[in-house]
A and B are shown apart, each in its own frame.
Chain A
Amino acid sequence: MLATRSAHVLGDLMTKPTYIPFPADARLSFGGDEFIFIELSEDMRIAQALAIQSLAKTLTNLRVPGVIDICPAHASYMIRFDPDVLDLDSFLSQLREEHERAVSADLTTLSTRIVDVPVLYDDPWTRETLLKFRDRHQDPNSTDIEYVARVNGFASIDELAAAHSAHPFIVTFPNFVPGNAESVQLVPRDMQIQAPKYKRPRTETPSRSIGHGGAFTNVYPSFGGGGVQLLGRTPIDIVDLSQTRPGFEDRPVLFTAGTLLAFRAIDLDEYFDIRSSMEADTYRFRQAELEFSIDRHTSDWRGYNVELKEALP
């Protein structure tokens, strides 16, 4: 039986009930009987996040029978498997090898896209929603965007919006609901906008809200619950699982892992203009394919970010 064959791998697990050490200080644990969860570090590191994406691609291409999902995240990844099918012992050995290879490899470039994301910061819809949930927030007397501006040392919400839209973000974790993708700004750590999540999550968030929690910005594709600070709203739709709308022919979600997002502040008039053309299916996403160079980002992030944004049509 599976459990017997796995005994030597799981020996540690029986005495120390939770974690199996994995290469490069990572730790493995099981999520019930169907998930493997591997955390590489507790903090976010951009290069490591790209290594995790590369590992996820490799693992997906192996097409191991019994592996159902491979889900890369910012500093961890998760694998859903069917224990009735997967040969767990042999998969764990293979996983250990691929994991070690990915974290020690020197990634140079990433084939990806940059997409223009228009944002109405401090919009009326998210403001109305967040005011309903002040009892779940750190600062019941501010709006989310006022709070994020203040705790990051900006004098005004306009200054925060300017910093948020000045440099592109890169998607490092698509998750939560289809279309949602969390991204980190391509700036040094000391320039990252950071904010805690709500003390308890909201039960409502308008569709297309721009959220920010930890160091990550996301766009909520659809109405639903949510736990991060709300900064604004975009008029563009970012998911179409039916893949019948223009722009979604090749993929059901606009923001896939590795996509660069260039947020751009717009006013209410432009918001409504884009929204009308979006609803009429006449809007065309502003986007461009490019090779993202990790070296260029490391050596001259500021200059490189200007170049990246210039790639947009």
Chain B
Amino acid sequence: MMHVTAPGLRTLVQDAGRDGYYALGLPPSGALDQRSFRIANLLVGNDPGAAVLEFVFVGPAITFERDTHVAVTGATVEIAVDGVPQPLWTRLRVLAGQTLAIGPMSKGSRGYLAVRGGVDVPLQLGSRSTYETIGFGGHEGRPLVAGDRLPMGPSADVLASDTGAPSLPEELRPPLSAHVEISVVPGLCHYRFTADSVSLFFSTTFTISHEANRTGYRLTGAPMEFESRAQPFGAGDDPSNVVNLGYPLGSIQIPSGTEPICLLRDAVTGGGYVTFGTIVSSDLDRFAQLKTPDTVTFRQVSFEDALAMRRRAQSELTQIARLLGQPPHESTVPVEGELP
């Protein structure tokens, strides 16, 4: 078992997500920075989709009741085992009775703690992810509190892969900049915006507001304008209203033409505000590490570009898995190119 001695600001059990229930209004949830999450698992010899703890801004303190291996990835944060500082992105040995304490973050906004064997809370609809909006999944559907005890999945104490690299090389860790460029495929209700507004969207800088959580990030920036039309029946009178429609994960809606909202893995699955386009899935990892008042600019890409970006990200993860001594994960995508 792992014993939560301090919960951190908001710490949730997350995994690769709960796919297949979008039509029910149930988003996938899961780790917002999937790349950091998968690497944390690879470092400790887990299946890359095993459940971990995701924390924001201030991490938890966990006392382990058996010897194990752990790794902390994602945001830059100070960590210590029984008061002794330890490196991030590294497989760490923790003994029964020892406490891993995760301090405040200096860069990024989300960190991941993987333990060998995974966090073994019950599967709910095929996933251990927490969907906090309705208190579902994870550990009792809620953020951890002091005193919680979480089961760890069974695993051998020493694995063959423990001979692999124990640490992710610096150059493969995310830069966690306070400004990022994010790729967007225009589409959905993009036709509602004037050509000038579309150009503005792709040239202006937006700021992450304080309303930024696992459901979505609200941004502030230049206002967008709409093509004039008689509002269609059922949409509502505001020019940013549409007859309610589905919101893809990563989609960007712009209520009243101001304050774009980018939906993340706890997305609402639909609604009635005009949508502009969708962030490429592999860019959501970097996006989810932003926090107020970080800034973002958007780059227009085609659907084909998006697929190519996805393949590159998968191929890089496959190579990281090899580097860390793990068998290639479930992806069937062939490896392309070399690591940077």
Q: Report A's interface with B, CB cutoff 8 A.
A: 1-3, 6, 10, 13-14, 17-19, 29-35, 37, 39, 41-44, 56, 68-78, 80, 83-84, 138, 173-180, 182, 184, 189, 192, 194-197, 199-201, 203, 213-216, 221-222, 224-225, 227-228, 239, 241, 252-253
Give the CA-CA distance A68 to B22 in the complex, in Å. 9
Q: Which residues of B contact A174 (CB under 8 A)?
A: 23-25
Interface size class of B (residues with CB under 8 A): 35 or more
Chain B residue nearest in CB terms to A37? B188
Contacts of A84 in B (CB 8 A): 314, 331-333
6 intermolecular pairs with C-beta atoms under 8 Å apart: A14-B302, A35-B248, A37-B187, A42-B235, A184-B234, A227-B255
Looking at chain A's contact residues, is the secondary structure mostly helix, strand, loop, or mixed? loop
1/0 contact string of B57-99 vs chain A (CB within 8 Å): 0000000000000000000000000000000000000000000
Q: How far is A77 from B268 in the complex, measured between Cα atoms in Å? A: 15
- Whether A225 contacts B215 in the complex (CB less than 8 A), given A71-B270, A176-B271, A178-B26, comes out as yes
Q: CA A195 – CA B234 in complex, angstroms?
A: 9
Contacts A84-B333, A216-B234; A252 near B24 (Cβ below 8 A):
yes
| Chain A residue, CB-CB nearest to B188 | A37
User: A269: shortest Cβ distance to chain B, in Å?
Assistant: 29
Q: Which of B273-287 contact A (CB under 8 A)?
A: 273, 277-282
A contact residues around B234 at 8 Å (CB): 43-44, 74-75, 184, 192, 194, 214-216
Is B244 an interface position by the 8 A CB rule?
yes
Asked whether A33 and B309 contact (CB < 8 A) given A72-B23, A173-B270, A176-B268, the answer is yes
Given contacts A33-B185, A214-B244, A227-B272, 15 further A-B contacts (CB under 8 A): A33-B303, A35-B248, A35-B278, A43-B233, A69-B23, A71-B246, A76-B246, A80-B248, A84-B331, A176-B271, A177-B133, A182-B244, A189-B233, A192-B233, A216-B234
Q: List A contacts of B151 (CB < 8 A).
A: none
B255 and A30: CB pair below 8 A? no
Residue of chain A at shortest CB distance from B334: A1
**Cβ–Cβ < 8 Å partners of A176 in chain B:** 25, 268-271
List of A residues within 8 angstroms of B309 by Cβ: 33
Task: Decide yes or no whether B318 CB sits under 8 A from chain A.
Answer: no
B30: Cβ under 8 A from any A Cβ: no
Given the interface pairs A34-B248, A44-B234, the reply to whether A227 lies near B271 with Cβ below 8 Å is yes
